[in-house]
Amino acid sequence: MEDDRVADLKILLAGTLVKSEETFDVLNKYSGAKIESLPSMGSREVDLAVKAANNSLSEVGKLTAFRRREILEKVAALMLENQNDLTDTLVSETGMTLHDAKFEVNRASNILKMYATDTFHIQGEALTLDADARGSGRHGYSFRVPVGVVGAISAFNNPLVLLAHKLGPAFAAGNAIIFKPASLTPLAALKVGQMFIDAGLPQEALSVLTGKGELLGPLLAGNSTVRVITFTGGKRAGAEVAKAAGVKRLLMELGSNCPNIVCPDADLDFAAKNLVSAAYSFQGQNCLHAQRILVQESVYEQFKSVFIGFASKLKKGDPRAPSTDIGPMITEGAAKRVEEWVNEAKKMGANLLLGGNRSRQFFEPTLLENVSLEAKVSCEEVFGPVSLLIKFSNLREAVRASNDTDYGLQAGIFTHRLDDAVYAMRTLRFGTVMINESSDFRVDMMPFGGFRGSGLGREGIKNAIEAMTELKMSVFNLNALENTAN
């Protein structure tokens, strides 16, 4: 039985409808019903999209900052006008709960509004060139120009937020863009892509490529006329994209296994409530997921009891039901992988405190302790509803354990002591350190990105726009004008 909730869907390839002999099905993650069959694109479609994007640059270049702002604001408004439809689509194709899907639409709309505002803040500076003897009589000005064509590759877990953080800065800066949504969750992205065209973006300036990421990602990254690649996904896929990209700018967010430290002076109820949400929202399929929770030994047992109390109240079921907290994982294969990792940890001596069971695509909120550092759930990104409790004696020990990872996206610490907060802020080797917030906290204008294996560059309003522009310099020799005048 097909799911009929997605209707009048258009595939965007430079404004034209696409047909393909090879297709793939997008499934309802709860019922398993087919929602839609989409074209599985390949090298021909990538070439067409890149050619169209380059052809559009002169037209896109004529769009003033005022007009680009208008387009982004119009798309943001269209998203809210179609909030029920987009929410419904997200619940179907991702399995996220009704509450999370509504939040996703509102957040993505707000992100586009912020990028719209920043079209007015793409600025350079005047330089004092006569600070050097050779600069006498010269005035220098720097300014930012679009890179041209941006290639964007997205993950499945936040289809609209990730789209907004890629299309938003690309268009705010005056670029054309080719967007590759995750094949598991492309439908809401296709609908919002059409909204960009409806809002007035030149049709050739946007293509949305559907199909296999392992094929389309390297093809898009490897095209020499695509000047920036912005990628969100796993380390292995990111490495393949980076290898194909060659010499061009890369923005890469590659996940993490975020640590959160609970100090003995922390408000344990507050910390536990925040960390339960950070551990199990959207089934833990989140790069900011609270995977490692380090608790000082004097409050360890108390915190454990409080955390389990909150987590035990989470309700599993149909993500469309308003009372549901835990929906299905993105695929049954993903749930099986998490099950294998939990079983491996148990075989290596871990204690199972909560959950640990799988039913089809559902995996219970799970809590482990005494986990070996060699277990995958400890040293890799689990990307599922599994968290670890780790006991520590002093803060320096907790920071060392937190830093013992190949990742470095975000970390959190719960404490009322200013000296401990400052110590953690300075010594935790992560892109962002949260004080009395979980690692899952993010406000979208923040610079967002990580150290080490968590990626390259930074998203966030100002940072992403700068990454999608080139800094250009101009020098005026006023001596020549004076000579002419004389």
**The one catalytic residue among 253, 364, 381, 459:** 253
**Residue type at 432?**
T
389, 293 contact by CB (below 8 A): yes
Please list, in sequence order, all residues whose beta carbon lies within 8 angstroms of the beta carbon of residue 128, skipping any fewer than 6 positions away.
135, 140
CB atoms within 10 A of CB 132: 9
150, 177 contact by CB (below 8 A): yes
Question: Partners of 296 in the beta sheet?
Answer: 392
Handedness of CA 453, 459, 462, 467 (dihedral sign): positive
Residue 486 corresponds to which tokens in the numbers above?
A: 């004389």
- Whose tokens are 């150290």? That residue is 451
CA atoms of 413 and 427, how far apart (whole Å) = 12
Helix (H, G, I), strand (E, B) or coil at 17: coil
CA atoms of 101 and 86, how far apart (whole Å) = 8
**The one catalytic residue among 287, 364, 381, 437:** 287
For helices 268-280 and 300-311, the axis angle rounded to 10 degrees is 50
**Residue 253 annotated to the active site:** yes
CA atoms of 360 and 54, how far apart (whole Å) = 45
**Residue type at 350?**
A
- The dihedral over CA atoms of 346, 349, 350, 355, expressed in degrees to the nearest 10, equals 30
**Residue 379 annotated to the active site:** no
CA atoms of 113 and 167, how far apart (whole Å) = 12
Q: How far is CA 172 from CA 55, 68, 310, 444, in A?
A: 19, 6, 42, 15
Phi and psi, residue 461, nearest 5° = -55, -65
Helix (H, G, I), strand (E, B) or coil at 387: strand
CB atoms within 10 A of CB 475: 11
Question: Catalytic site residues?
Answer: 253, 287
